[in-house]
Amino acid sequence: MFRLESILEIVEGNLVDQAKKGEINSLLDDLDKKLGNGGKTKQVLEFMFNLYKEVINSVDDLIILYDSKGDIIKVNNVCKQFTGYTKDELKHLNLEQLIPADLNPDFKKGIIERFTEQSKINFPDQDYFLANLVKKEHEDSTTSSLFFEVNIKKIAEGLNDNGLYVLCGRDVTKRKKLELQLKQKNDQLKKLNEKLEQVSITDELTGLYNRRYFEQRFSQERKRISRTKGFFSVMMLDFDNFKPVNDQLGHKVGDYVLKKVSAVLEENLRNYTMICRWGGDEFAALLSRTSVDEAKQIGQRVVDSIQSIDLRFDELPIPDKRFKETYVLAKKYNLVYGPNLEFLKIGVSVGVGSTHNSDPLTIFDDVDSAMYAAKDAGRNRVVAYQLKN
């Protein structure tokens, strides 16, 4: 049996093996006699073959005819545009040679097996497969990946030893690049929305949650305990003597102190549900599944941690020309301490309360009362408000 390649070559007039050429011409003459075509069988074949060439060369899609070994038999004219190889060069190549050498070996093996249906390979990301099928060579010696929509079909068996396949590939590079650009824009938009969302729920100065978001989370927590019969605690905190710090030493110093103390609060409370800047120098914390006794212990740790902060007065953001007069004001209002009065005095009053066996709707008022009770009792301490049944 003759290979299809030989028959195609003689019809095209390209067969150089004279012995084989004679055998095929003899075969065609016998066929012509049997059909009674009066010597026109070869002409009909030439016409049909030329028609086939015109058809496949008139389309803009890549068309490759190959056998089950991946050896290329025929291609259309547009293949040179996509691969950089001439039609004659492609006829001496295997499909494997069109796949970039730097592709993952296992993935490359899967592509080759898919070409010839030697195994059932699942390609969940077809774009990746298509993008790396061909790399186009440019005049400046650079390459770029091309995207194709590929259809592979087995079209014949028995015409040669290996069977035949046709691969049709439509160049969708522009579309895929636009899709990639759109994905990148969507990713950027998503990140921007996430950033805006974060800004909308965050206090700009301290980086803690703001009051609006805290109240939303509080509402969710209240619904949770209503559904599960659970409980939680609330903590309110107010810095002691912050007003004279802000008024006498300046807002820059006040902001500096707020940020320093906020970092300590976050360090002590971050393992609990959330903490927010309630307003001014007041803060609130929501302590999920925490009893009032546990909340009081946590509050005492916060008080101790804030007391242990050593804010050196000479490191505060005070302009040099105002430092001396500011320090005089600090001593006047009893805002410094230490052997040489070198540290800024800061403290916090804390109120805590639990919703355990109580109505959570009034907890903020009750905890706020506990916080002011801590101030009245001498400041820098924790007072618990135990709600009654």
Whether 186 is in a domain gets the answer: no
Q: Are strands 382-385 and 311-312 parallel, antiparallel or unpaired?
A: unpaired
Q: What are phi and psi of 154, to 5 degrees?
A: -80, 125
Q: Judge if 173 and 216 occupy the same domain.
A: no
Residue 139 and residue 234 in one domain:
no
Report the pLDDT value the prediction gives residue 348, as an integer from 0 to 100.
95
Question: In 8-103, at which residue ranges do the beta strands (DSSP E only) sit?
Answer: 62-67, 72-75
CB 90 within 8 A of CB 24: no
What pLDDT score does 132 carry?
43
Residue 184 lies in a domain: no
Residue positions counted in the chain: 389
Rounded CA gap, 248 and 242, in Å?
10
- Domain-located, residue 247: yes
In this structure, is residue 192 part of a structural domain?
no
Cβ 301 vs Cβ 284: under 8 Å: no
Element (DSSP H or E) covering residue 187: helix 173-200
Residue 152 inside a domain? The answer is yes
Q: Based on the fold, state whether residues 172 and 207 are members of the same structural domain.
A: no
- Say how many domains are in the chain: 2
Could you tell me which residues come within 8 angstroms of residue 355 by beta carbon, excluding any fewer than 6 positions away? 222, 225, 231, 232, 233, 234, 363, 387
Q: Indicate whether 170 and 31 sit together in one domain.
A: yes
Alpha carbons 113 and 129: distance in angstroms, whole number: 13
Query: In terms of DSSP bridges, do strands 382-385 and 347-354 run parallel, antiparallel, or are they unpaired?
Result: parallel
CATH assignment at residue 50: 3.30.450.20
User: Pairing between strand 274-279 and 311-312?
Assistant: unpaired
| Residue 188 domain flag | no
Alpha carbon 63 to its chain centroid, in Å, reads 36
Q: Does one domain contain both 65 and 169?
A: yes
In the prediction, which pLDDT does 153 show?
80
Domain match, 141 and 218 both: no
Tell me if 99 is assigned to some domain. Answer: yes
Same structural domain for residues 141 and 245?
Answer: no
Q: Please indicate, yes or no, if residue 54 is contained in any of the structural domains.
A: yes
Do 100 and 30 share a structural domain?
Answer: yes
Structural domain including 331 reads 201-385
The DSSP bridge partners found for residue 169 are 62, 150
One domain, residues 78 and 222: no
Cα(128)–Cα(210) distance, integer angstroms: 44
**In this predicted structure, what is the pLDDT of residue 16?**
46
Query: How many CA atoms are closer than 13 Å to the CA of 96, on its beta-carbon side?
Result: 14
Give the pLDDT of the chain (389 residues) as one tens digit per residue.
Answer: 445 555 555 545 554 455 556 666 677 777 777 776 666 767 777 777 778 788 888 888 889 888 888 888 889 988 888 777 888 888 888 888 877 666 667 766 766 676 665 433 333 344 334 434 555 555 555 566 677 777 788 776 655 556 788 888 888 888 888 988 999 999 999 999 999 999 999 999 999 999 999 999 999 988 888 888 888 999 999 999 899 999 999 999 999 999 999 999 999 888 877 999 999 999 999 998 899 999 999 999 999 999 999 899 999 999 999 999 999 999 999 999 999 999 999 999 999 998 865 566 788 889 999 999 999 999 999 999 865 55
Distance between CA atoms of 175 and 161, rounded to whole angstroms?
A: 39
Between the alpha carbon of residue 212 and those of residues 64, 170, 204, 276, 336, the distances in Å are 64, 54, 13, 9, 35
Radius of gyration of the chain (CA): 41
CA dist 328 and 242 (Å) reads 17
Q: So what's the pLDDT on residue 119?
A: 37
Structure token pair of residue 372 = 């002011």
Burial label for 1, CB within 10 Å (0-12, 13-18, 19+), is exposed
Strand stretches in the chain, DSSP E: 62-67, 72-75, 134-137, 143-146, 148-156, 164-171, 232-240, 274-279, 282-288, 311-312, 336-337, 343-344, 347-354, 382-385
Q: For residue 330, what is the domain's CATH number?
A: 3.30.70.270
pLDDT at 74: 87
CA distance 299 to 349: 9
The pLDDT value given to residue 17: 55
Q: Do 170 and 230 belong to one domain?
A: no
One domain, residues 89 and 125 = yes
Instruction: Give the helix, strand, coil percentages of the chain, each rounded to 5.
Output: 50, 20, 30
208 and 352 fall within a common domain: yes
Is residue 286 within 8 A of residue 273, CB to CB? The reply is yes
